Amino acid sequence: MSLMSEDADPSEQRAAARPAAANAQQTNRVTFNRLELHRILNLYGRMVADGEWRDYAIDFLKDRAVFSVYRRASEVPIYRIEKDPRLARKQGMYSVISATGLILRRGHELERVLLVIDRKLAVV
């Protein structure tokens, strides 16, 4: 015999317990702040307008945040822009990584790290 009444929806009880668990998970994740996302999405918008990029993905992981850029949705990312706070005092927490895994640039300031992508099109 069930302790719930027949009118009660079991998903409502799960939803009531969910916010506490969601807040605990979000505090352990690394994210991009609003200014960082603004800068990255401005670059992304320009590249889409030029026809270079077509899709992106954002991953907020436990140890880092990753913004992946794709030429087509079915391919591997062309570039990954990563934020890893563990490297903040060493090499800098921002890095741009190519599709082959080569770190193109790493640094403490996102603006300067993203120049490696901006300059490639300026030189051509």
Residue 14 domain-assigned? no
Residue 96 domain-assigned? yes
Q: What pLDDT digit, counting tens, does each position of 93-119 carry?
A: 999 999 888 999 999 999 999 999 886
Q: DSSP assignment, residue 56?
A: E
Q: What is the DSSP string of 60-112?
A: E-SS-EEEEEESSTTS--SEEEEE-GGGTTTT-SEEEEETTS-EEEEES-HHH
pLDDT exceeds cutoff 90 at 38: yes
Number of domains within the chain: 1
pLDDT exceeds cutoff 90 at 31: no
Residue 54 domain-assigned? yes
The structure's pTM equals 0.71
Domain extent for 91: 34-123
Residue 24 domain-assigned? no
